[in-house]
Amino acid sequence: MVESSGASLLVASNRGPVSYAVRDDGGLDARRGGGGLVSGLSAVKGDGGALWVCAALGDGDREAVRRGVGEPGVRMLGIEPDVFHDAYNGVANSVLWFVHHMLYDIPVSPVFDAGFRRRWAAYEAYNRAFADALADGAAPGAAVLVQDYHLCLVPGMLRERRPDLRIGHFTHTPWAPPEYFRLLPDDIAAALLRGLLGADRVGFHTRRWAEAFTACCRDVLGEEYARGERATRVDVHALGADAGFLRERSRRPDVAERMAALRTQVGEADREVVVRVDRTEPSKNIVRGLLAYRRLLERWPEWRGRVVKLAFAYPSRQDLAVYRDYTAEVRRLADEINESYGTDGWQPVVLHVEDDFARSLAAYRLADVALVNPLRDGMNLVAKEIPVVSDDGCALVLSREAGAYADLGEDALVVHPYDVEATAEALHAALSMPRDERARRTKRLAAAATALPPQEWFLAQLNALRG
Ligand code: F6P
């Protein structure tokens, strides 16, 4: 039943704008989330009639839900922990993430067995919880923007409950081509597509992912898609970096402190600095990035002692063995490079694994070369943030498989992410690039990176939906 009151604008995403931790004294600490998604969607928070629906992710969030603690305009769903775990880890981050980033080791995985079917049922229940909350909270004719691969079924479920709503969905990952998408069991592949086609508009960061989505619809749904009972428009909105926020935040004293600490770790002032910043997960291709750096030191010995790689690999999704094992491999290889090449006064790789946004900004400012070489990536905001924040200009080595390539390809040194030898060559070229050329390219990269800042990106989707 449609309520007479309710929000006129709703956003749904797995991770919300705030998270909670239980202190030793039993109180709750609220922590604001960071990143482009949160800053883009934060436009919602300025709108009095808006509601952001998200999941309670950990014990602190669940305790906040239990105690009825929350922020105005945010509704956190206390989904049962087992259901959440199976939906988030068991389906979204181990199956959908692996399909869209094409990460499977095909001879042994995936295996879709009875255990997977149970996890899929949890994914359906988790999507249903979002659809119910949105249906409850929306005013007649409201606009609803659903985010990402965690919530593919929500548009269809919500459409059934509330045909009066304007529904949009945005995917932040790549979209797999049909041959790969069809690794999924047929009924599940179809359910995911039908779920998304419940939306009036679906959005992607690049034309390439949008075209892969429509190709999957044609291939998997065939006639049913061609008949198109509900016409869903497919849009491209390339999220950009938030220049104002980044420039202001990167000038604060905590960033200056971290720059001083990093300079000490780099050692001699005239050493070149290669920077990479990622959540540690296999699509980011951190291991091949380290192999390429090792090859650089081997093939061009003149760089030994003259360059330091700052690699920030922040732990992500550590409940899953595949992500933990990848983090361990990154650590092992960094140690191995330091043991093989390091000297008393020179550590070739400085690896940090604990999340620290101020330290990432410090590294962005210091970078002479940035390495962003994902196997596939929906966008990759790091590639867009570094040129905006860079102090003296930074050469960008960029994977052609990152969504950001569509916006930054012209002024980056573009690499094939599996080609370690070519990546080593690109690092050598980037390190050898004259300073004035680096500075010129950085200026152009920064302009392209900020073409659609988060708030405009969000409003573009909203206007398309309401238009
Ligand atoms: O790239 C997709 C995405 O959902 C991003 O929007 C976000 O930065 C990241 O994955 C977050 O992953 P998680 O919430 O699992 O830490």
Taking only the tens place, the pLDDT of each residue in 258-313 is 999 999 999 999 999 999 999 999 999 999 999 999 999 999 999 999 999 999 99
48 and 152 together in one domain: yes
Cα–ligand 1 centroid distance for 94 (angstroms): 13
Between the CA of 188 and the centroid of ligand 1 the distance, in Å, is 22
Give yes or no: residues 21 and 104 share one domain.
yes
The answer on pLDDT for 34 being more than 80 is: no
User: Among 172, 319, 377, 401, which is best to mutate for testing ligand 1, by the most ligand atoms less than 8 A from CB?
Assistant: 172
Residues 228 and 251 in one domain: no
* Residue 150 Cα to ligand 1 middle (Å): 10
**Region 187-191 average pLDDT:** 98
CA distance 87 to 94: 10
**What confidence tens digit (pLDDT) does each residue in 407-461 have?**
999 999 999 999 999 999 999 999 999 999 999 999 999 999 999 999 999 999 9
pLDDT band, very low/low/confident/very high, at 198 (cuts 50, 70, 90): very high
Write the DSSP assignment of 262-317 as a string of letters. HHHHH-STT-EEEEEEEEESGGG-HHHHHHHHHHHHHH-GGGTTTEEEEEEEEE--
Residues 256 and 222 in one domain: no
**Which residue has a Cα nearest atom 11 of ligand 1?**
15
Taking the C-alpha atoms of residue 228 and residue 141, their distance in angstroms, rounded to an integer, is 22
pLDDT at 54 over 80: yes
Distance 19 CA to ligand 1 centre (A): 15
Instruction: Tell me the CA–centroid distance for residue 318 and ligand 1, in Å.
Output: 13
> What percentage of residues in the chain have a pLDDT greater than 90?
92
Average pLDDT over residues 53-76: 94
Is residue 1 assigned to a domain?
no
Q: pLDDT tens digits, residue range 378-414?
A: 999 999 999 999 999 999 999 999 999 999 999 999 9
Average pLDDT, the chain: 95
> From atom 15 of ligand 1, which residue's Cα is the shortest distance away?
317
Please check the confidence at residue 234 and state whether its pLDDT lies above 80: yes
If pLDDT is split at 50, 70 and 90, which confidence band does 37 have?
Answer: low
Atom 6 in ligand 1: residue holding the nearest Cα: 172
Identify whether residues 460 and 418 lie together within a single domain.
no
Asked whether the predicted pLDDT for residue 326 surpasses 60, the reply is yes
CB 8 within 8 A of CB 142: yes
Within-domain flag for 157: yes
361 in a domain, yes or no?
yes
Nearest CA to ligand 1 atom 3: 172
Which of 11, 19, 37 is the best mutation target for the ligand 1 pocket, counting ligand atoms within 8 Å of the beta carbon and taking the most?
Answer: 37
170 shares its domain with 228: yes
pLDDT digits (tens, 9 = 90+) for 70-103: 988 999 999 999 999 999 999 999 999 999 999 9
Say whether pLDDT at 203 is over 80: yes
How many CB atoms are located within 10 Å of the residue 49 CB? 14
309 and 445 part of one domain: yes
Identify whether residues 228 and 247 lie together within a single domain: no
Name every protein residue with a CB atom under 6 angstroms from any ligand 1 atom: 15, 35, 37, 148, 172-173, 316-317, 378
CA–centroid distance, 221 to ligand 1, in Å, is 28
In this structure, is residue 204 part of a structural domain? yes
How many Å lie between the centroid of ligand 1 and the Cα of residue 231?
A: 28
Both 233 and 286 in one domain: the answer is no
Please report the pLDDT score of residue 467 as a whole number: 84
295 shares its domain with 390:
yes
CA distances to 363, 370, 421, 436 from 394, rounded to whole Å, are 11, 7, 21, 10
Q: Which atom of ligand 1 is nearest to the CA of 14?
A: 14
Q: How far is the CA of 65 from the centre of ligand 1 (A)?
A: 22
Instruction: For residues 108-117, give the mean pLDDT.
Output: 97
Mean predicted confidence (pLDDT) in 113-123 = 98
For residue 88, how far is its CA from the centre of ligand 1 (angstroms)?
A: 11
- In the reported structure, the alpha carbon of residue 16 is separated from the centroid of ligand 1 by a whole-number distance in angstroms of 11
pLDDT number for residue 1: 38
Residue nearest to atom 16 of ligand 1 (CA): 316
Using CA atoms, how far residue 340 sits from 35, 303, 329, 348, in Å, is 36, 14, 16, 10
Q: Is 431 within a domain?
A: yes
CATH number at residue 118: 3.40.50.2000
Which atom of ligand 1 is the closest one to the Cα of 279? 16
> How confident is residue 35, by pLDDT bands cut at 50, 70 and 90?
low
90, 216: one domain = yes
The alpha carbon of residue 111 and the mean position of all alpha carbons in its chain are separated, in whole angstroms, by 26
CA 461 to chain centre: 18
Query: Do residues 210 and 416 lie in contact, with contact meaning Cβ atoms separated by under 8 Å?
Result: no
Confidence of residue 5 (pLDDT cuts 50, 70, 90): confident
Is 70 domain-assigned? yes
pLDDT single digits (tens) 135-174: 999 999 999 999 999 999 999 999 999 999 999 999 999 9
For the CA of 37, the closest atom of ligand 1 is 6
Position 32 confidence tier, pLDDT thresholds 50, 70, 90 = confident
| Confidence check: pLDDT of 3 > 60 | no
User: Domain residues for 354?
Assistant: 243-449
pLDDT at 2 over 50: no
Give the mean model confidence (pLDDT) for residues 219-244. Answer: 91
Count how many domains the chain has. Answer: 2
Whose tokens are 């599996």? That residue is 418
Tell me the mean pLDDT in the region 235-247: 95
Q: What percent of the chain has pLDDT over 70?
A: 96
129 lies in the same domain as 49 = yes
C-alpha separations of 79 from 14, 30, 43, 326 in Å: 11, 19, 26, 29
Task: Give phi and psi for 104, each to the nearest 5.
Answer: -70, 145
Mutate to test the pocket of ligand 1, among 11, 14, 15, 89 (most ligand atoms within 8 A of CB): 15
CA of 95 to the centre of ligand 1 (A): 14
Q: Which residue among 31, 279, 376 is best mutated to probe the pocket of ligand 1, counting the most ligand atoms within 8 A of its Cβ?
A: 279
User: Cα of 264 to ligand 1 centre, how many Å?
Assistant: 32
User: What pLDDT, on the 0 to 100 scale, is given for residue 33?
Assistant: 72
Which residue's CA is minimally distant from atom 14 of ligand 1? Answer: 15
Domain-embedded: residue 2: no
